[in-house]
Structure 1
Amino acid sequence: MFWLESVHPLWFPLSVIGIFLLCIVLLAEGLNRFTAMDGELTRKVVHIGTGNVILLAWWFNIPSWLGIGASIIASCLALVSYFTPILPSINSVGRRSLGTFFYAVSIGVLISWFWPMGQPQYAVLGILVMTWGDGMAAVIGQQFGKHPYEVWGSHKSWEGSLAMMGMSFLVSALVLLSSVDNSGLTWITALLVAIMATSLEMFSKLGIDNLTVPLVSGFLAYFVLNF
């Protein structure tokens, strides 16, 4: 997996990641400005698309300092966009949330912790659980949520929560099976991560689940498999 770093200089993976991110943002902005798509759905395009950058960072073995620096820059942009809607696809009008800021912070924390340890799979797991689990929970919940419920003023649906649990289990299992030898415990770990992530998403306010879900998912998987 990491052989590409010795074949290509750093500019190559950075160019690939930069082009990928630019395409995601331009796609979301185009959908937001020129189509009738709901603003929340365009946010999820950014949410899901940008989260997958962690796979490129893992594949290219991007240095930890670079990931942390990118997280800081993304956090600053998210805060600016929160107060000044320069990118409506990131913070949609009518839905005040610091979720994008927390999302960027969680990426920086996970990379700074697990990359130097030589255990990047746990950072990847935490971020992808948030990327796909929360992303699909919102999409499925909005489009097919017929059985709503409310927790602390937050409106959810059972369809969305089940999508969150299912996707969290799937991505956790795939990441761990590709990088951890103990395949028997892997399935139990993926299930525990899925249950915990879904529970945290249920009790979220102001987008705080974008911080708690990836951090708890990554660290939970690490401790279960290593202790």
Structure 2
Amino acid sequence: MLTQFPDFILTPPLWLQITIVAAWVFLILAIAGFVNRFATSDPEILRKIVHIGAGHVILIAWWLNIPASIGIGASVLASIVTLLSYILPILPGINSVGRQSLGTFFYAVSVGVLVASFWSLQQQQYAAIGMMVMCWGDGLAALVGQRFGQHKYKVLGTQKSWEGSLAMLVVSFLVCSLILLGVFGNIWQIWAVSLAVAFTATSLEAFSFLGVDNLTVPLGSAVLAYVLMQLWY
């Protein structure tokens, strides 16, 4: 089981919770800005830094016992900002993917849906699974596919690579296993559930038209992990 932290560590005042989350988001954006200035201006690299880093907000929210209302409210606000960014130059570096995509909007929506669904059940680990599979699995799949993808395939007109899909499969299995291990300990169900989640997430990521995988991957992974653990554990 997860280590039980003292209440004063797990549940700081609301103002401090919001400050910690805001500080994390600012840190991720600062790292992306630093990399952009001193290392590379490759928009895909910069996007994935934000894509992977920002998703860890859900782990912070879980650790700090941040109320669901805060997470949902932040998701609604972020969704509005991302929608506006498709019209106004608010997030040009993040939205520049070289194709028509609503991925940033779906990303923000997925956070709110995960929090609304699993905070009320006191099963935050499944929200974390959904978000971490999307952040690390989908994020690294894109980078590996772009850099090393030699064997291509197409799904609904979207080109993917087997190398990127393999990265998605492996990373999804690892992050799901680590989270479930932390909650349930080393039991056989964890490995079976993680494998099922990894294959499902990889399949959903292949159908990424308009960036919809930023919604289907986290929600599909979280729901599948939850249902299977309810059935098998």
* Bin for the TM-score computed over the shorter chain: over 0.9
Asked if 1:11 corresponds to 2:18, the answer is: no
Matched residue, 2:92: 88
How many angstroms does 1:12 deviate by? 1.9
More displaced stretch, 41-50 vs 140-149: 140-149
- Using the alignment, how far apart are the partners of 2:204 and 2:148 within structure 1? 21
Asked if 1:58 corresponds to 2:62, the answer is: yes
Query: Which of 196, 218, 222 matches 2:222?
Result: 218
- Using the alignment, how far apart are the partners of 2:97 and 2:213 within structure 1? 20
Query: Which of 205, 210, 213 matches 2:209?
Result: 205
Asked if 1:38 corresponds to 2:42, the answer is: yes
Asked if 1:23 corresponds to 2:23, the answer is: no
Asked if 1:158 corresponds to 2:137, the answer is: no
Deviation above 2 Å: which 4+ runs of structure 1? 26-37, 93-96
SS in 1 for 2:120: helix
Conserved 8 A contact 2:82-2:91: no
Conserved 8 A contact 2:149-2:161: yes
The RMSD of aligned alpha carbons is 1.7
How many angstroms does 1:182 deviate by? 7.0
Query: Which of 172, 186, 189 matches 1:185?
Result: 189
Figure out how many residues of one structure are paired with residues of the other and give that number. 226
Aligned residue identity for 1:220: L
More displaced stretch, 143-152 vs 158-167: 143-152
Matched residue, 2:74: 70
Matched residue, 1:130: 134
More displaced stretch, 72-81 vs 23-32: 23-32
Asked if 1:174 corresponds to 2:178, the answer is: yes
CA 1:223–1:182: 2 relative to 1, 3 Å: farther
Conserved 8 A contact 1:29-1:88: no
Identity %: 55
Residues 11-51 of structure 1 show CA distances to partners (whole Å, capped at 9, x for unaligned) of 22221211110121233245446764321221111100101
More displaced stretch, 138-147 vs 27-36: 27-36
Conserved 8 A contact 1:168-1:197: yes
SS in 2 for 1:116: coil
Structure 1 stretches lacking a partner, 5+ long: none
TM-score of the superposition, structure 1-length normalised?
Answer: 0.93
Conserved 8 A contact 1:29-1:87: no
SS in 1 for 2:41: coil
Aligned residue identity for 1:124: A
More displaced stretch, 206-215 vs 142-151: 142-151
Asked if 1:117 corresponds to 2:121, the answer is: yes
Aligned residue identity for 1:169: F
Residues 147-203 of structure 1 show CA distances to partners (whole Å, capped at 9, x for unaligned) of 222222111111110000011000000111111257211110000000000001112
SS in 1 for 2:221: helix
Asked if 1:101 corresponds to 2:105, the answer is: yes
Matched residue, 1:149: 153
Structure 2 stretches lacking a partner, 5+ long: none
- Using the alignment, how far apart are the partners of 2:93 and 2:179 within structure 1? 29
SS in 2 for 1:150: strand
